C-alpha cells in the first residue's frame, strides 16, 4: 500500500464507545498495512471499542458473515478487493453498515468516488486521532434507531424516520445513510435557513466547514434524486449562508 501512515497519538481515553447501555460499540478495521492496522486497533481499544480486524475486502466480507460490527473503518487501496469495491458490494446487498473510508487521496473527485460507492464519511490521511474518533462517534449517533413514528413532509416529499423510507409523490427514493440524515435535518427545520456549520455539527458531530465541498456533494445528490421525475426544486441554497427546504 502506498498511502502514508496516519499521524496518530493516543489521547486520554474517555470510554465513550457505547452502542447499548451494556455493550461497547464494535468497529471493523479493514486495512492492509500491518502497522496502520495495529495502530488503529490500539487506538480504538484504548478508547473502549471492541475491534475486528481484516487485511482486505475479501477478509472483511468473510468476517461479516460471522460478526456484526456497529461500524467499519475501511482503507481504499488494498489487494484482492479494495475499499470502494467493498462499499459497493455491501450496499448492493442492502447492508447499511456505517462506513468511514480512509485514503491518502485529497482531491474532490476522490471524495465523490468514495461517497458514490456508498461510504458514509471520508477521512484523508494523515489524520489526527481526535478527528477520527469524533467521526466515529458521529456515525454511531446517526446509526441509532429513530423511534419517532411521525412522518416529515414538504410538498409531495415525504420522509419516514421510523422506516427510513422517502418518496416524492408515489415515486420511492433510495438514499444513502448520510443523504437521508441531511434530508431529515432539513425537513425537521422546514423554511429555516441552516448554516453549513450547523449542518456539519449535527451530521458529523463537529465543525467541518473547512471541507465544505463535501456538503455540496450531498446536496447535489439529494437534488438529483428528489427532482429525478421533473419535480420542482425543494432544497434551496442561501448564498454565503447555507441551505433550507421549502415548497414554493
Render pLDDT for 170-220 as a digit per residue (tens, 0 to 9). 999 999 988 999 999 999 888 888 888 888 877 876 555 445 578 889 999
Q: What is the mean pLDDT of residues 146-151?
A: 58
Residue where the block lists cell 468511514: 100
- Tens digit of pLDDT for each residue in 18-64? 444 445 899 999 999 999 999 999 999 999 999 999 999 999 999 99
Q: E-assigned strands of 31-151?
A: 50-54, 71-75, 99-103, 121-124
Residue 3 pLDDT class (50, 70, 90 cuts) = very low
Packing angle between helix 83-92 and helix 108-116, nearest 10 degrees? 30
**Distance separating alpha carbons of residues 141 and 171, to the nearest angstrom:** 29
Using the predicted structure, report yes or no on whether residue 12 has a pLDDT greater than 70.
no
* pLDDT mean across residues, the chain: 83
Mean pLDDT of 142-154: 66
3-state secondary structure of 19: strand
Instruction: Select the more confidently predicted residue: 13 or 50.
Output: 50
The interaxial angle of helices 129-143 and 177-188, nearest 10 deg, is 70
Place of cell 482531491: 107
End-to-end distance of the chain based on CA atoms, in angstroms?
A: 51
Q: Which domains, from first to last, does the chain contain?
A: 18-143 (3.40.50.2300), 152-245 (1.10.10.10)
Amino acid at each position: 500500500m502506498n498511502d502514508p501512515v496516519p499521524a496518530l497519538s493516543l489521547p486520554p481515553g474517555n470510554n465513550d464507545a457505547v452502542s447499548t447501555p451494556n455493550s461497547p460499540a464494535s468497529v471493523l478495521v479493514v486495512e492492509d498495512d500491518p502497522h496502520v492496522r495495529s495502530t488503529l486497533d490500539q487506538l480504538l481499544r484504548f478508547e473502549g471499542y471492541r475491534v475486528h480486524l481484516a487485511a482486505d475486502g475479501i477478509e472483511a466480507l468473510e468476517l461479516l458473515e460471522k460478526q456484526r460490527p456497529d461500524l467499519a473503518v475501511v482503507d481504499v487501496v488494498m489487494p484482492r478487493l479494495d475499499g470502494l469495491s467493498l462499499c459497493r458490494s455491501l450496499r448492493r446487498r442492502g447492508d447499511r453498515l456505517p462506513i468511514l473510508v480512509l485514503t491518502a487521496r485529497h482531491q474532490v473527485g476522490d471524495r465523490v468516488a468514495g461517497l458514490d460507492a456508498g461510504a458514509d464519511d471520508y477521512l484523508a490521511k494523515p489524520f489526527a486521532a481526535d478527528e477520527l474518533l469524533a467521526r466515529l462517534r458521529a456515525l454511531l449517533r446517526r446509526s441509532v434507531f429513530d423511534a419517532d413514528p411521525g412522518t416529515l413532509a414538504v410538498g409531495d416529499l415525504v420522509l419516514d424516520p421510523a422506516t427510513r423510507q422517502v418518496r416524492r409523490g408515489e415515486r420511492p427514493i433510495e438514499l444513502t445513510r448520510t443523504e437521508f440524515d441531511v434530508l431529515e435535518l432539513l425537513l425537521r427545520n422546514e423554511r429555516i435557513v441552516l448554516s453549513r456549520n450547523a449542518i456539519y455539527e449535527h451530521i458529523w458531530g463537529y465543525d467541518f466547514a473547512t471541507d465544505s465541498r463535501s456538503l455540496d456533494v450531498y446536496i447535489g445528490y439529494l437534488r438529483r434524486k428528489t427532482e429525478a421525475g421533473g419535480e420542482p426544486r425543494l432544497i434551496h441554497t442561501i448564498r454565503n449562508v447555507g441551505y433550507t427546504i421549502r415548497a414554493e
